[in-house]
Amino acid sequence: MDDGTKKKEDVVEDIEFIPDEEGISQELAGKIKKLREELKSCEAERKEYLEGWQRAKADYINFKKDEGKRFEDMARFVTASIVEEFLPVLDSFDLALQHGVPKEVEKGIMLIRSQFEDVLRKRGIGEIAVGAGDPFDPAKHESVGELKSEHPPGTIADVVQ
């Protein structure tokens, strides 16, 4: 853009007036000088507006990215919160089945539990298969405490819930 501006200035500088009368020549030279100053002022103002617009556009793009990330984080948090509240319900189904219920009731409980598991599986959430003797992974497991057992250190002694 500066190259185009310089070319315009060169063209303006190349204008030469042949004086007809002394007063007219000075008057035109004054007008040209005033127009050049006005042109420089307008170009500076244009540059300022363009830079401001570019900053505003960049800020808006960054805002949209940040807002999208905040929305995803909130959705993840809400999902985790809801799942945390439903896990005891699934455990309650298992406890109900351990208390010797009639076959028809057992089938109903198993069907409802299966539906819960399907919904969670669709959301990418599944049961972590773990048992006594498996290596303890703090990213997957939560420790209640440490105790002596027949299993080697750093392994799971018992599964509580």
- Residue 61 included in any domain: yes
- Residue 46 included in any domain: yes
Q: What is the pLDDT at residue 161?
A: 66
Q: What is the CATH number of the domain that holds 24?
A: 3.90.20
Q: What is the pLDDT at residue 1?
A: 47
Alpha helices in the chain (DSSP H): 2-14, 22-97, 103-122
3-state secondary structure of 46: helix
Task: Give 140's pLDDT tier (boundaries 50, 70, 90).
Answer: confident
CB-based contacts of 106: which residues, under 8 Å, 6+ apart?
A: 97
Q: Which of 28-37, 47-56, 134-143 has the highest mean pLDDT?
A: 47-56
**Mean pLDDT for the stretch of residues 46-71:** 96
Q: Crossing angle, helix 22-97 and helix 2-14, to 10 degrees?
A: 170
Q: What is the pLDDT at residue 6?
A: 52
Q: How many domains does the chain have?
A: 1
Half-sphere exposure of 130 (CA within 13 A, CB side): 18
Q: How far apart are CA 127 and CA 159, in angstroms?
A: 13
Task: Give 25's pLDDT tier (boundaries 50, 70, 90).
Answer: confident
Q: What is the pLDDT at residue 136?
A: 81
Q: Tell me the percentage of the chain whose pLDDT exceeds 70.
A: 84
CB-based contacts of 98: which residues, under 8 Å, 6+ apart?
A: none
- Residue 88 included in any domain: yes
**Interval 78-122: pLDDT, tens:** 988 888 888 888 888 888 888 888 889 889 989 998 998 898 889
Q: What is the pLDDT at residue 40?
A: 96
First-last CA distance in the chain: 69
Other Cβ atoms within 10 Å of 81 Cβ, number: 10
- List, in sequence order, every residue forming a beta bridge with 155; answer none if it has no partner: 135
- Residue 68 included in any domain: yes
Domain carrying residue 25: 20-122
- Residue 77 included in any domain: yes
**Mean pLDDT for the stretch of residues 61-66:** 96
Judge whether residue 37 has pLDDT over 90: yes
Q: How far apart are CA 123 and CA 78, in angstroms?
A: 13
Nearest to 134 by CA among 152, 160, 161: 152
Entry pTM: 0.47
**Alpha-carbon separation of residue 94 from 11, 87, 138, 160 (angstroms):** 89, 11, 25, 13
- Residue 138 included in any domain: no
- Residue 62 included in any domain: yes
- Residue 158 included in any domain: no
